Amino acid sequence: MLTRPLFVLLLAGLPMTQLLAEPAADAATANGSAPAFEEPRQAVTWRREELKEIERLVRQLRFDLVNNRDARGAAPRLEELAERASGDHLRPAFIEGSHGRGSEARARIWEEWEAFSEGFDALEARVEALRAAAEAEDYAAATRELSDLSLTCRSCHRRYRY
């Protein structure tokens, strides 16, 4: 089931095979601001690397904000984290059928797409709360937000990842 009018996607120049293969693709894919994948294996590889980068950023932010108490130094990483951890950036890489060999994703993702997708909204909210704490130079709040961010990731991984 397509979530947007078909004519909008066709005007964006997406091939019909991509429209049918990506029922949960969003407008970001249509306007070119998120990656498009020709096959599920490309999406698996991309999302694995992207999620590793998010994990790396969170570790660096923990060092910046908790250990060094350096909100200004953390600002570029917070900006990058907000971009990489956005649902618009990540959702297109979860092409239906991109589980199985080489992937840690469970098929349950597509069976429970709405709930899975809400996890990205929760992730974005946690990142925004972390940014707000860092901008206020409230390092105790930043520490709590980093923990909450990690819990948000783990809760989704427990349900939707092998």
> Which pLDDT tens digit goes with each residue over 14-55?
444 344 444 333 334 444 455 788 889 999 999 999 999 999
According to the model, what pLDDT value does residue 91 have?
95
According to the model, what pLDDT value does residue 60 have?
98
Query: How far is residue 65's CA from residue 131's CA, in Å, rounded to a whole number?
Result: 11
Q: What is the dihedral of CA 121, 106, 19, 51, to 10 degrees?
A: 50
Query: How far is residue 126's CA from residue 145's CA, in Å, rounded to a whole number?
Result: 7
Maximum Cα interatomic distance, the chain, rounded to a whole number of Å:
51
According to the model, what pLDDT value does residue 22 have?
41
According to the model, what pLDDT value does residue 29 have?
40
According to the model, what pLDDT value does residue 34 have?
59
H helical segments located in 37-138: 40-62, 71-84, 87-90, 108-111, 113-135
Supply φ then ψ for residue 26, to 5 degrees: -115, 180
**pTM of the model as a whole:** 0.76
Q: Which residues of the chain have pLDDT under 50?
A: 1-32
What number of CA atoms fall less than 13 Å from residue 139's CA on the CB side? Answer: 13
